[in-house]
Amino acid sequence: MTAAIAKRGAKATLIIKDVRVLDPASGVDACTDVTIEKGQIASIAPAKGKADDAHVINGAGKLLLPGLVDLHTHLRSPGREDEEDMASGAAAAAAGGYVIICAMPNTDPVADNAAVVYSQAEVAESDAAIRVAFLGSISRGEKGEHLSDMWDMAEAGVVAFSDDGHPVADAGLLRSAFQAAGRVNLPLSLHCEDLDLAGAGVMNEGRVSAQLGLAGIPCAAETADVARNLEMALYEGARVHIAHISCARSLAAIETAREAGAAVTCEVTPHHLVLNDEEVLGLDSNFKMNPPLRDEENRRQLVEALAAGRVDCIATDHAPHAWQEKETPFEEAAFGVTGLETAFPVLLTELVQPGEVSLEALVMAMSTNPAKAFNLPVPAIVEGGEANLCLVDVEEEYEIEPGNFFSKSRNNAFSGRRVRGRVLLTIAAGRLAFKRDA
């Protein structure tokens, strides 16, 4: 589709036998065989005869899903390849069931011009096992002062614009950004946070921050900025994607704007759906991220909204950090946690298995909806379509061990947690991207 999405060829025939195929968007839920030939899904039906050159996988008791799509990944390339690079980030994504990830532009140098985007796409083309799409920054250097080369970057194939990590405080600049992005019909992905309200906060403001003596980031820092940004998007008639929502009232604002006609999508991270701010009591910096883990009431409401289909997307905000940037007192530690390898197993275990969210809703929010939000190829399990799928063992139980990650970084909030459900195989853009060793 775009130059920034690496194109991949295809090889041998693969048959996955007796597998439960689930693709809610295509209306598929059946136990059958899936044959993949030359990178395409040749048939979704009992495989006849026996192709000698076919590789056969026993899918009994396993689940075949459309490959996952992440709209919010930090790949650290260029600039901090010690934390993550295209190869390790894409390998981590493939191991987590992802077939497309969208890399945020807060690299060093910032992806604020076409040259950086072309070079990123080139590295991804050679190094990444799955498709990597790129976002360009909204402002030059993400400094919030002047617009970046948005038109050039659109030509280079970026799928959205964002100053993620640095909310655009200047409303006039943001208005211009909506207009410029509208001209190339791309959405802005907005990190919504009023920095004056957030102050020096390092965690959610509430009873836990009061107990610990840590400066808090109030929910209002997010909700106030969400409300302002939605008003502007509505006024400009522009596409907007609200990144990593942590407060239930942000969702309410999104629904109001949507009713008024705004073209708005949104995302929630796995950690905001599963964890609350009580985790911070132990001062483990793997629970430090921005937006911060909120209280149980907000978490619960986000889960209910996801179950009801009111949360469009789940995005990881995969933020790898060198260990020395996390192995410090909590206040000094960098914000952010990794998520590509833990998102699906954790959500399956914590939300689907207890019956809080349906598997169908989870798949929509992790695959179909995010692909549509950024106009990416929608992974679908349909005959004749390109193979973008993942095979999951829903019974396998194990403990999350960051030492085993494909990611270069270990800063994960689910370290040591027992989960049930493991990605065995990922086929991205018709090519085998990941296969777990038996």
Q: What is the rounded end-to-end Cα distance, in angstroms, of the chain? A: 35
Q: How far apart are CA 167 and CA 142, in angstroms?
A: 9
Shorter beta-carbon distance to another protein: residue 278 or 396: 278
Among 22, 133, 159, 214, binds another protein (CB under 8 A): 214
Q: Which of 27, 49, 261, 329 binds another protein (CB under 8 A)?
A: 329
Options 27, 49, 172, 213; binder of another protein; rule CB under 8 A:
213
Segment contacting another protein by CB under 8 A, of 126-134, 325-333, 368-376, 417-425: 325-333
Closer CB to another protein, 137 or 285, in the complex: 285
215 binds another protein (CB under 8 A): yes
Nearer to another protein by Cβ, of 3 and 212: the residue is 212
Torsions phi, psi for 215 (to 5 deg): -70, 135
Token pair listed for 15: 């048959």
Select 256 or 328, whichever has its Cβ closest to another protein. Answer: 328
Look up residue 346 and give its two tokens. 């954790």
Residue range at the interface with another protein (CB under 8 A); choices 148-156, 214-222, 311-319, 359-367: 214-222
| Min dist. Cβ of residue 367 to another protein (A) | 38
Q: Which is nearer to another protein, 185 or 211 (CB)?
A: 211
**Sequential DSSP letters for 366-419:** IIIHHHHHTTPPPP---TTSB--EEEEEEEEEEE--GGG-SSS----TTTT-EE
Q: Which of residues 281-310 bind another protein (CB under 8 A)?
A: 283
Q: Is 194 a catalytic residue?
A: no
* Residue type (1 letter), 313: C
For another protein, give the closer residue by CB, 41 or 214.
Answer: 214
242 forms bridges with which residues in the sheet?
A: 190, 266
User: How many CB atoms neighbour CB 258 within 10 A?
Assistant: 16
We find the least distance from the C-beta atom of residue 6 to another protein, in angstroms, to be 38
What is the sign, positive or negative, of the torsion defined by CA atoms of 92, 96, 97, 100? negative
Q: Does 218 bind another protein (CB under 8 A)?
A: yes
Q: Which two tokens stand for residue 426?
A: 């990922």
In the complex, minimum distance from the CB of residue 283 to another protein, in angstroms, rounded to a whole number: 4
DSSP-based three-state secondary structure for 358: coil
Binding to another protein (CB under 8 A) within 180-209 occurs at 199-200, 205-209
DSSP string, 116-177: HHHHHHHHHHHH-SSEEEEEEPSBGGG-SSSB--HHHHHHHT--EE--TTS----HHHHHHH
Q: What's the closest the beta carbon of residue 416 comes to another protein, in angstroms? A: 16
70, 225, 277, 317: the catalytic one is 317
- Least distance from another protein to the Cβ atom of residue 205, Å: 5
Least spacing, CB of residue 207 vs another protein, in Å? 3
Q: Is 126 in the site for another protein (CB under 8 A)?
A: no
Q: Which of 82, 108, 296, 327 is in the footprint of another protein by CB under 8 A? A: 327
243 contacts 72 by C-beta, under 8 angstroms: yes
Nearest to 74 by CA among 162, 9, 141, 173: 162
Site residues, another protein (CB under 8 A):
199-200, 205-216, 218, 283, 324, 327-332
Task: Give the active site residues.
Answer: 317
